[in-house]
Amino acid sequence: MRKNIVAGNWKMNTTVPEGVQLADDLVNLLKGTKANCDVVICTPFTHLCAVAAILEGSPVCLGAENCARHDKGAYTGEVSAAMVRSTGADYVILGHSERRQYFGENNEELSEKLRLALDNGLRPIFCVGEVLEQREDGSFNEVVAGQLEPLFNLPVDDFKKVIIAYEPVWAIGTGKTATADQAEDMHAFIRKQVEEKFGKQVAEATSILYGGSCKPGNARELFAKPDVDGGLIGGAALKAADFMGIIEAFS
């Protein structure tokens, strides 16, 4: 069966010492408890090595928030998938709506990043989600289906390593969560798309996370839905106790 996962996305927050402290706080909160889900924290590139050292021996896995579309060379300021992997990270977020919106990431670029992430042994957490206008004009399913295309060009064995995160852009950092029913409808739609492309067995094994103002107070209701397999958490991942509260929604 598919895994339940709670993944944190720190975005561009915390200095390295602050991030090390946050990771350490989380590891301490998890000590002596048994999380009923996989736990991942995705940090800025600068934090990966230091946070990897903190997470060693703990159940918490590490991820990056992005990687370059090229494998190496004269791309000043870029960080490759191989570099991310060499820090000890196992995951990488790709296609976050903020990358799509502010950095113009499109399906072509995301296909290249997916290829490099997978070739370097990273598991992509691939984000999709509509903006408010698309929610209101009813085109959201079509929009998300289009965003899934880079995944559907992967060989099935690569696709199986991917985690999908549905993050309605209007719910990210706004305090306005999708209702559990809205999330479930979209997750079921995404699973159906996966089934049409790769078959029922693969679709049933794919973890689909919800993201967008997920908090300890609403996580349980969201995660109770049959097609919601956990969360990608922004703001609430910046406080160890809040993140822990979301992890505990799987109990």
Cβ 211 to ligand PGA, closest distance in Å?
4
Q: Are 244 and 237 in contact (CB under 8 A)?
A: no
Closest approach of Cβ 196 to ligand PGA, in Å?
27
Count of residues in the chain:
251
Q: Which of 4, 6, 9, 19 binds ligand PGA (CB under 6 A)?
A: 9
Residue whose C-alpha is closest to residue 226's, from 244, 204, 245, 243: 204
Among 17, 121, 146, 173, interactor with ligand PGA by CB under 6 A: 173
* Contact predicate 66/93, CB 8 Å: yes
Minimum Å gap between C-beta 214 and ligand PGA is 5
Least distance between ligand PGA and beta carbon 213 (Å): 4
Q: Measured from the CB atom, is 154 or 172 closer to ligand PGA?
A: 172
**Cβ closest to ligand PGA, residue 93 vs residue 117:** 93
d(CA 138, CA 18): 42
User: For residue 78, with 0-12 CB atoms within 10 Å meaning exposed, 13-18 middle and 19 or more buried, which class applies?
Assistant: middle
Q: How far apart are CA 107 and CA 191, in angstroms?
A: 19
Region near ligand PGA per CB under 6 A, out of 12-20, 23-31, 138-146, 210-218:
210-218
Q: Minimum distance between the CB of residue 93 and ligand PGA, rounded to whole angstroms?
A: 8
The residue type at 158: D
63 binds ligand PGA (CB under 6 A): no
CB of 233 to ligand PGA, least distance (A): 5
Q: Which amino acid is at 171?
A: A
Return the range that interacts with ligand PGA (CB under 6 A); candidates 132-140, 146-154, 167-175, 179-187.
167-175
* Residue 150 or 234 having the CB closest to ligand PGA: 234
User: Torsion-angle region of residue 181: left (phi > 0), alpha (psi -120 to 50) or beta?
Assistant: alpha
Would you state the structure tokens that stand for residue 107, as one six-digit string?
A: 């399906």
Q: Nearer Cβ to ligand PGA, position 92 or 214? A: 214
Identify which range of 19-27, 55-63, 133-141, 165-173 contacts ligand PGA by CB under 6 A: 165-173
Determine contact, residues 218/242, Cβ cutoff 8 Å.
no
Instruction: Indicate whether 129 belongs to the interface with ligand PGA (CB under 6 A).
Output: no
| Distance between CA atoms of residues 122 and 73, nearest Å | 20
The CB-side HSE value for 129 (13 A sphere, CA atoms) comes to: 31
The C-alpha R_g of the chain, in whole angstroms, comes to: 17
For the segment 217-246, give every residue that binds ligand PGA (CB under 6 A). Answer: 232-236
Any idea which residues carry the catalytic annotation? Answer: 96, 167
Q: By CB under 6 A, tell whether 213 contacts ligand PGA.
A: yes
Residues found near ligand PGA in the complex (CB under 6 A)? 9, 167, 172-173, 211-214, 232-236
